[in-house]
Structure 1
Amino acid sequence: MVLLVPDTSGINEIIDILLGGKSEERRQHDREREEEERRRHDREREEEERGRHDREREERKRRKQERKWREQHEQLKQQEEEVKRREEEYKRREAEIKRQHEEERRRQEAEFKRQHEELKRKEEERKKFEEEAEKYKSADHQKWTILKNDDSIKSLLREIRNKYPGTEMEKLRAEARD
């Protein structure tokens, strides 16, 4: 705040000239006025200095806050980049795992299909073998029935039974079956 004091120095000089010099009272008054002028000037300078210091302090605070905000912004950017990198890594790993699972599934399907085909082939072979065995059994049975009814064979069988009684006959039958 600046106080404006009217400049009365010119009037005082005129009064001094008219009166023929300065009175002690006048000198005292001039000294007080000069002292007050100096104090006012000092206060103005101090206020101006304080204002400048306040502005500088505010400017330092503002720059410090701006630095802090920039640092926070950089940290946020780094965190965002880290999150993006992690997300990309997660997606890449997820795709790799999915690809591996798909490959494993295909491999297992191929293995199951091969095993299924193998089982089918073995089943068909077993059925063919059983059919062949059945053919031979029925053919042997028919032949045996025909031969059994033949009189010459009947007499031959009787002779064999007579010759090999009991357990020996069982042994021969077992050998014949084998």
Structure 2
Amino acid sequence: MLVDKALALRELHDQHAAAIWRYAVYLTGNASNADDVVQETLLRAWRTPRILEQDPATTRGWLYTVARNLVIDDVRSARHRHESPVGEPPERAIEDRTDELFDSLLVGEALMTLSADHRAVVVRAYYGGQNTAELAAELGIAEGTVKSRLHYGLRALRLALQEKGVVR
């Protein structure tokens, strides 16, 4: 039985493989893909006993239909839809930081309007990440003075930014 099946498949291959391959090349535009289509078509013939039992001369239409369906299934597959070969990898998108640059320029200009004492406390607190105790120790002033300068410095900074139309 197995020898008969293998003999029937060989006869089917000998009579139809070249024609199916040409048809698959026509459909896919690629010889290596056509080889895969022919192989899968004959494998499906092997798995379908009624096809191997028929006269090999009468099965060409079935083989063409199977080959066409395999090509269609491949084109519809996620692999085919989501992969597209390119010559070079795409460029990485660079984040636009223009707004950040303008914001930093505006804040820098507003900071320049503060007194040196207020500016020193605000810059060290917000850009340096220091707390009031650390600022008092570094600047050699009382912690209450640091809090006062921070309060009035931020208030003056807000007014300067309001004048520039940044803050309401």
| TM-score, length basis structure 1 | 0.27
| TM-score, length basis structure 2 | 0.29
- Higher-helix-fraction structure: 1
Relative CO higher for 1 or 2, CA cutoff 8 Å, sep ≥ 6?
2
